[in-house]
Chain A
Amino acid sequence: MSAAKRVQQWATFARTWHIFDCKWQDPYQSANIIKKYLMGLHKPIYHPMNDCGDVVVCINSREIALRGDDWRKRAYFHHTGYPGGASWTLAWELHNKDPTMIIKKAVYRAMKGNLQRRHTMERLFIYPGEEIPEDIKQNVSNQIRQLRLVPQRLDHIPEEEVQQYPKVMEYPPDYVLK
């Protein structure tokens, strides 16, 4: 085997580390993207018996965005196994307790329930803020594109830009400014 082919072989089977910024992202939509990288579905050499999945590091999981009234309507079920041991936790209550849990459960559910799933989940790192340990940061070599644009708040846009932005509505002539 030539030297070039040998390097290609290493590069093919090496684990790549991806980073994903969860800021203003829907966890259930981004779980489908994260899943592909975790399982290695984006690689041409993919096979279920072939351990070719990558590592994904999720940051800013505290800043995820849920759609509409999902924060107060979505419930997470847990059962202790004892009679009367069922409990339902709303999404916002769960996020208060552990800001990494929603994205973790979303990725877990996006994957098919087989023996490989728990091992694949070991390759997912989730951090609530922007700070990640240095040894993990060193490995990261790729960034996964975000699905949704991070919206800009009006008070974060400079005042001059807001004034000079093209206007659609004109006040009627007898309008009293408020």
Chain B
Amino acid sequence: MALLIKSVFSFLKQPIFSSSLRVFSITKQLNLKEFQESRNGNKLIIEAVSVPSTRTDLLVRADKIQDLTPAVIDAEKPVCYLCKLGLDIKHTDVLILSQFVRSDGCMLPRRITGLCSRQQKKVGTMVSMAQKAGLMINLTPSRCKKDPKQRYGYKKFNTYFDEATIFMKKIPDQRDKFKR
């Protein structure tokens, strides 16, 4: 009996909910978009306007550069565009790192950056290093005071980071060298 009721419910559920979840779109879907608010009398219009990407002309790709010595790449693993370029990026290179963040300074997910998992972790850690060092203070949430000197406690002093620690399993403790 219970089985019968269950099957009836699932049969009823299917057309109702599946139809409500279906996405209809009138505008062209695959485009870089920007939300724009405009006010027409009492009406507030919020629309997603498709905009051309400003980055397309300035884009650097390894296959477009002549006489680039190819970076040493392990053929087993998937290769991304950043691996191919073979750049030695530091956490102080804010002009590069700021391309991978949102306007609130948050690292973009991998489905948007299109990096391999190793580079995603590396860039993500370097973004947080740059944020902790206060180098990308204009790309922070709105509640931030936008001045590293106004931070609380130890955070207000200058800090630098070692990029070699990104892929360390355990960062060695300085006190361990006194252990027997």
Most-contacted residue by chain A among B55, B98, B171 (CB, 10 A)? B55
For A24, what are the chain B residues with a Cβ–Cβ distance below 8 Å? 158, 160
Q: Is the CB of A151 within 8 A of B92?
A: yes
Does any Cβ of B come within 8 Å of A90's Cβ? yes
Q: CB-nearest residue of chain A relative to B53?
A: A171
For A151, what are the chain B residues with a Cβ–Cβ distance below 8 Å? 92, 94, 133, 135, 160
For B160, what are the chain A residues with a Cβ–Cβ distance below 8 Å? 24, 26, 65-67, 148, 151
Which of chain B's residues 114-152 have a Cβ closer than 8 Å to chain A? 114, 133-139, 146
For B58, what are the chain A residues with a Cβ–Cβ distance below 8 Å? 164-167
A164–B134 Cα distance when bound, in Å, is: 23
For B94, what are the chain A residues with a Cβ–Cβ distance below 8 Å? 151-154, 157
Q: Is the CB of B161 within 8 A of A67?
A: yes
Does any Cβ of A come within 8 Å of B37's Cβ? no
Interface range, B side: 35 or more
Q: Is the CB of B55 within 8 A of A169?
A: yes
Does any Cβ of B come within 8 Å of A170's Cβ? yes
Q: Is the CB of B135 within 8 A of A169?
A: no
A72–B146 Cα distance when bound, in Å, is: 22
A152–B133 Cα distance when bound, in Å, is: 11
Q: CB-nearest residue of chain B relative to A73?
A: B174
Does any Cβ of B come within 8 Å of A126's Cβ? no
Most-contacted residue by chain B among A167, A173, A176 (CB, 10 A)? A167
Q: Which of B34, B96, B114, B157 contacts A172 (CB 8 A)?
A: B114
Q: CB-nearest residue of chain A relative to B104?
A: A178
Which of chain A's residues 14-70 have a Cβ closer than 8 Å to chain B? 24, 26, 63-68, 70
Q: Which of B1-9, B11-19, B24-32, B71-79 contacts A (4 or more CB under 8 A)?
A: B24-32
Q: Which of A152, A169, A177 contacts B33 (CB 8 A)?
A: A177
Shortest beta-carbon distance, B113 to chain A, in Å? 6
Chain A proximity mask over B77-114: 1 for CB below 8 Å, otherwise 0? 00001100101000010111011101110000001111
A153–B134 Cα distance when bound, in Å, is: 8
Shortest beta-carbon distance, B98 to chain A, in Å? 6
- Tell whether A168 pairs with B60 under 8 Å between CB atoms, given A24-B158, A177-B33: yes
Does any Cβ of A come within 8 Å of B176's Cβ? no
For B161, what are the chain A residues with a Cβ–Cβ distance below 8 Å? 67-68
A178–B34 Cα distance when bound, in Å, is: 8
Does any Cβ of A come within 8 Å of B51's Cβ? yes
Q: Is the CB of A68 within 8 A of B171?
A: yes
Shortest beta-carbon distance, A27 to chain B, in Å? 11
State the B residues within 8 Å of A (CB): 29-35, 48, 51, 53-56, 58-60, 81-82, 85, 87, 92, 94-96, 98-100, 102-104, 111-114, 133-139, 146, 153-154, 157-162, 165, 171, 174
State the A residues within 8 Å of B (CB): 24, 26, 63-68, 70-73, 90-92, 95, 148-149, 151-155, 157, 161-178
The 8 closest A-B pairs by CB, nearest first: A92-B154, A65-B158, A151-B92, A155-B138, A71-B154, A167-B55, A154-B94, A167-B58
